Amino acid sequence: MDRSVSARRTGLTGAAGAIALAVGIMAADAALAQQAQAAPAGNAATTEAATAANPFFETWNTPFGVPPFDRLQPEHFRPAFDRAWAEHKAEIDAIVNNPAPPTFENTLLAMERAGQALRRVSGAFFVLTSTATNDKLQAVQREIAPLNAKHNSDIALNEGLFKRVAALHGQRDALNLDPERKRLLERSYIGFTRQGAKLEGPARERFAAIQQQAATLHTRYAQNLLADEKAFELVLEEADLVGLPASARAAAAQAAKERGHEGKYVITLSGSSVLPFMRFSERRDLREKLLKAFEARGNNGNANDNDPVIAEITKLRTERAQLLGFPSFAHFRLDDMMAKTPEQVADLYDKLVPPAHVRFKEEEAAVRAMMAKAGVTHGLERWDWAFWSEKVRTAQYDVNDAIVRPYLQLDKVIEAQFWVANQLFGLTFEEKTDVPVWHPDVRVWEVKDKDGRHVGLFYGDYFARTGKRSGAWMSSIRGQQKVNGDIRPVIYNACNFAKPPEGQPALLSFQEAETAFHEFGHALHGLLSNVTYPSLAGANTAWDFVEFPAQIYEHWLSEPEVLSKFAVHHETGQPMPAELIERIRKSVNFNMGHFVLRQVALGKLDMTYHLATKAEPADSRVVEAMTREQMKLPNLISLPSTAFGHIFSSEGYAAGYYSYMWSEILDEDGFDAFKEAEDIFHPELAKRLYEHVYSAGNTKDAMEAYKAFRGRAPTVDALLRNSGLKLNKTN
C-alpha cells in the first residue's frame, strides 16, 4: 500500500524544528538546483504588484484563521517567503545578539516563538504543491526550495545560536527544568549536532552546500515522477473493459471525461485506477502494458529520468553522514530512531523473511493451481499476480472487491473513523461548509472534545486528480502549540480514491478503507497533540514510531462492531451480513507472504542504498540486483527505485522505510492489549493510548511512551501470530 505521512513538511521552525526537521524535511518540496541557485531575489516590479494584494500580508478573517485558499495565487508565495525569511532571520539574530547569559526563556523559548510568518506561508504552500500543483506553482517551488533550505541551514549552522544552546545543555541538570522543557533542550541540542553545528571550516561549508543541493534534488525526483504519471493514460473502448466491475468502469468513465475523452474510458497511473484494473481485467495484454508503465515511472529515458537524480542524492547523503562521523547514511539516520542501528533492522528482517518465503511459496502454488484449473498455458508474470490471486481469494473465502466494495461507501467509512475516535477519545466532528478549501472536492470538519471544546480542524481530500501527487498522506497546515497562545491544529488527509460519476457514491475496496483509517490515525496524532512547544508537537516523533498511531488505528475497521454499523450496501441500505464480515476477517491475512516479502524487499532496497560507505553515485540497477540476490526475491515482486518516492522525493523515509514493518510489531502488539481486555474500546487502555501516544508528541522517548501505554516492551510474537506466519524456532 502506498501510504506516507508528511506531517513534518510544514514550516516547523522552533528550536528543534528549525534544525532537525525543517532543513531535512521541508527539502522534500525543494526543486531543481541549477535553476534555483541562480534565482534572483525577485523582480522588483513583480514583487511590488504581488505584495499589494497579497493575502499573506493581511490578517486572515477566515473561519478558524485558516489560509484563504480561495484567494491564494502562485505569485503570492515568493514575496511571502521573502518577508517570512527576513522576519525569522531577524528573530534569530536577536536571540544570538542578546547580551544576557543564555536561559531557557531567552534562547529556547524565544526560538520556539520565532518563525510564525514562515509557519503561516509554509503551511499553505506545501498543501498546494502536493495536492493542487500546476506549472506556475512548480516554477515557484524551483525558486523557493533551495533558498528555504539555505535559510534553515543558516540557522542550523549559526555558531552563536549553537553556543547558547550548548551552554544550556551543559548545565541541564542544574536548571531544574520540567520534563517537557528538558526534552526540548535535549532534542534541540541533538538537532543542532545532527545538522552540522559542530563542524568547522570547509566541512561546515560543504555540509551547507549539500543541504541545498539535496533540497533541489528531492523535488526534481518528485516532479519527474508526477510528470510521468500525468503523461500516461490508457484510453479504452467498451470492449476493452471485460472483467471490470461496475465501480471500476464508472471510475474509468469519469477519468476519461475529466481528460477530454468523452464516451471512452481511461486508466491512469493513480493507484486507485491501476489496482482494480490489475485485479479484474481479462485483458492480459493491457494488464502488462499498464503494469510496465506503472513500474517505469521515472525510468523512461526521457527528461523525467530519475536514475541520475538517485545517483546524486545517495552520493550526497553518504557524504553528509560521513562529515558527521558516521560510516553511512543509514547509521546516521538510525542513531536517532527507536531501532538505533542497522543491525537491529537486519535482526527484524531475519525474523520475518524465512516465514514470509514459506508463506509466499504456498500462495504461489495456489495461484498456479488456479491457472492450471482454468486451462491457462502461459507462465505466471507480475501482471498476472493480482488477477489470479483475486480468483484464489474468491475461491478460498468467497470474498473479493466486487462483493465487498458495494458495502464500503466513502462517506460511511469517514463516519466510521469518526465514530471510533468518539468511542476511544470522546471526539465529535461537525462538517463546515464556510471554510476555504483548495479544491471543490475537499471537505472540512471542526473537531471537539467530549466537553464540546474546540480541538482542531480536519480537512479531507480524498479523490485522485491531475496535479495531485500519488499515494495517501497526512500533513499539518497549522501545528498545535502553546507558546504563542493556545494554537489549535489544522490537519489534512489526502488520498487518491477514484472519483465516482456525479450523483453516485464513492465505493472503496477494503484495502482503500484501511488506507482511510490509516491516514486518519495519523491525523489524530496531529489533532490530539497536547504539548507546549511546536518542535515537539504531533507527529514530530522518532521516524520509526510515527507509523504506530496510524497502523494501530487500522485495526478498528475490521472489527464486527464497526463493520456491522457502517458497512451498508449503497443500493439496498442493508448492513453487511455477519457471515460476510466473518469471511472478510478470515481473509485479512490472504497473500501475507507476498505483502511481507514486498515490504521487506523495499526496506532492504532502502538500506542497501544507504549503507554505502563510499560517497559515490549509486547505480539503481546494481542496487536492485544486490537486493534481489540477498533476499532471493521472486521476480513476481518488483523493485522500482525510480518510483520509490518514499525515500527519494524527500528524506523522511530514507534509511527508514523499515519503520512500516517496525510499526507493524508495535501495532499488532498494541492492539492485542484491547483484545486481551475483551473490549476494543477499553476505557483505561484508550486513556493510556491518548496520554502516552496520541497527545504526547515527542515529549517522551518513543520506547518509553510505548511501554507506558502497553505496560511492557513490544515483542514480534503478535505480528507473526496475527499475520498467520509460522514462527521459526529461532524467532
User: What length is written for the chain?
Assistant: 731
Measured between alpha carbons, how far is 456 from 725 in angstroms, rounded to an integer? 40
- CA nearest to 173, candidates 192, 164, 186: 186
**Known catalytic residue at 629:** no
Q: Specify whether the CB–CB gap between 710 and 672 falls below 8 A.
A: no
Fill in the DSSP letter of residue 20.
Answer: I
Could you tell me the CA-to-CA distances from 420 to 66, 556, 666 in Å, in that order?
Answer: 26, 7, 20
Alpha carbon of residue 397 to chain centroid: 32
Measured between alpha carbons, how far is 597 from 634 in angstroms, rounded to an integer? 9
Q: Specify whether the CB–CB gap between 419 and 562 falls below 8 A.
A: yes
Coil/strand/helix, residue 235 = strand
Coil/strand/helix, residue 466 = coil
Measured between alpha carbons, how far is 402 from 276 in angstroms, rounded to an integer? 10
Cell numbers 477499553 correspond to what residue?
Answer: 682
Q: What number of H helices and E strands is found in the chain?
A: 31, 7
* Cβ neighbours of residue 389 closer than 8 Å, sequence gap 6 or more: 279, 363, 367, 590, 591, 594
Measured between alpha carbons, how far is 347 from 342 in angstroms, rounded to an integer? 9
Q: Specify whether the CB–CB gap between 265 and 253 falls below 8 A.
A: yes
- CA nearest to 212, candidates 146, 311, 148: 146
Measured between alpha carbons, how far is 287 from 607 in angstroms, rounded to an integer? 31
* Cβ neighbours of residue 55 closer than 8 Å, sequence gap 6 or more: 67, 68, 71, 72, 76
Coil/strand/helix, residue 461 = strand
- Phi and psi at 434, nearest 5°, equal -105, 10
Measured between alpha carbons, how far is 60 from 383 in angstroms, rounded to an integer? 51
φ/ψ bin of 542: left (φ > 0), alpha (ψ from -120 to 50), beta (otherwise): beta
One of 519, 547, 554, 559 is an active-site residue; which one? 519
Residue 34 burial (10 A CB sphere; 0-12, 13-18, 19+): exposed
Could you tell me the CA-to-CA distances from 632 to 244, 261, 309, 381, 383 in Å, in that order?
Answer: 34, 44, 27, 17, 20
CA dihedral sign, ordered 59, 60, 66, 67: negative
C-beta neighbour count of 578 within 10 angstroms: 11
Measured between alpha carbons, how far is 615 from 597 in angstroms, rounded to an integer? 29
Cell of 43: 523582480
C-beta neighbour count of 431 within 10 angstroms: 12
**What DSSP element (H or E) covers 582?**
helix 578-587
Q: Specify whether the CB–CB gap between 685 and 677 falls below 8 A.
A: yes
Query: Per DSSP, what are the bridge partners of residue 443?
Result: 460
Q: Specify whether the CB–CB gap between 232 and 470 falls below 8 A.
A: no
* Catalytic residue list: 519
